[in-house]
Amino acid sequence: MDSAMQAVRVAAFRDGLAALGYVEGKNIAIEYRWAEGKFDRLPQLAAELVAAKVSVIVTAAPPAVRPAKQATTTIPIVMTIHDPVGQGIVKSLARPEGNITGIAFQDAELSSKRLSYMRDAVPGLARVAILWNAKGGGPETVEAVESAAKTLGLQTRTFEVHDASEFAATIKEAKAWGAQGLIQLASPFFTLNRKGLIAELAANQMPTSCELREYVVDGCLMTYSGDLNAMFRQMASFVVRILKGASPGDLPIEQPREFQFVINKKTADSLGLKIPKSLEVQMTEPFL
């Protein structure tokens, strides 16, 4: 997550707190720690927050949630992450137990929906590349998307990348395989490097459904995703309940309440795609 995205998410979280009567600088103090894309710093930052004896740790995405969990078993943690049960973060959504709760979105389900929308947007779509990075989640998400593709009659091949320098070669390899579209699975690695990724997708004329609205603003063709700003406002309600005495392990993990389906019209035009009315009417906001 870059600084601009961080600022938007923090503002949404503050708005959620304010709506519940907690205003930073008046009746609540917030300690901030940013890894600035350097994931290896996260264990140290988590340890700093534990040493500061904060009342609650708020965090998002696997690379940050895992160090927080390792740093403390007593300070409540409010997170947003995909598939926390599958990733071994909590035991169950209904009763997470321990010191962790928050918001869970299922990237496998969202990505499967993206596949369906892409099939409707790209005429004759038969082969789809799946772009994956292990910092985002486990192979179970890949397997779920592959299964959804079979149901839709689509062939898939998974391409894993470890570094942004691999984008160009990976997308060229996907195109050589015959990919007519690409699904990018959730990962903070991709979000941090999204502009480079989108540039390579454009250079290779690859229709792509990306993880978040911000990708579409930057030029990705489309997304179907949970509204992360709404999720951060939702996280504030967990913090307030915990501050008022609730145990995080007794607070069921919630699903996102709001979703976004957006399409970049300029990108669609550059790819020679005419978005059908059946998709246009399902969009949650006008063409970007």
Q: The domain that contains 18 carries what CATH number? A: 3.40.50.2300
| 139, pLDDT greater than 90 | no
Does 219 fall in a domain? yes
Tens-digit pLDDT profile for residues 51-67: 999 999 999 988 999 99
Does 288 fall in a domain? no
> Do residues 158 and 270 share a domain?
yes
pTM of this prediction exceeds 0.85: yes
Does 287 fall in a domain? no
Helix axes 228-243, 3-19, angle to 10 degrees: 50
DSSP state of 275: -
Does 90 fall in a domain? yes
> Do residues 99 and 20 share a domain?
yes
User: Nearest-5° angle of CA 30, CA 31, CA 37?
Assistant: 125
Q: Would you give the distance in Å from CA 151 to the centre of its chain?
A: 24
Does 198 fall in a domain? yes
> Do residues 137 and 264 share a domain?
yes
| 145, pLDDT greater than 90 | no
Helix axes 107-121, 139-151, angle to 10 degrees: 40
> Do residues 111 and 216 share a domain?
yes
Tens-digit pLDDT profile for residues 83-131: 899 888 999 999 998 999 999 988 778 888 999 999 999 999 999 999 9
Q: How far apart are alpha carbons 247 and 229 in whole angstroms?
A: 24
Does 285 fall in a domain? no
Q: What is the mean pLDDT of residues 173-194?
A: 95
| Length of the chain counted residue by residue | 288
> Do residues 159 and 187 share a domain?
yes
Q: Report residue 2's pLDDT band, with 50, 70 and 90 as the boundaries.
A: confident
> Do residues 153 and 188 share a domain?
yes
> Do residues 112 and 17 share a domain?
no
> Do residues 141 and 267 share a domain?
yes
How many domains are contained in the chain?
A: 2
Count H helices and E strands in the chain, helices first: 12, 9
> Do residues 129 and 217 share a domain?
yes
DSSP string spanning 198-243?
HHHHHHTT--EEESSHHHHHTT-SEEEEE-HHHHHHHHHHHHHHHH
| 137, pLDDT greater than 90 | no
> Do residues 55 and 88 share a domain?
yes
Range of the domain at 202: 107-225+260-280
Confidence (pLDDT) at 140 = 77
> Do residues 146 and 19 share a domain?
no
Confidence (pLDDT) at 93 = 95
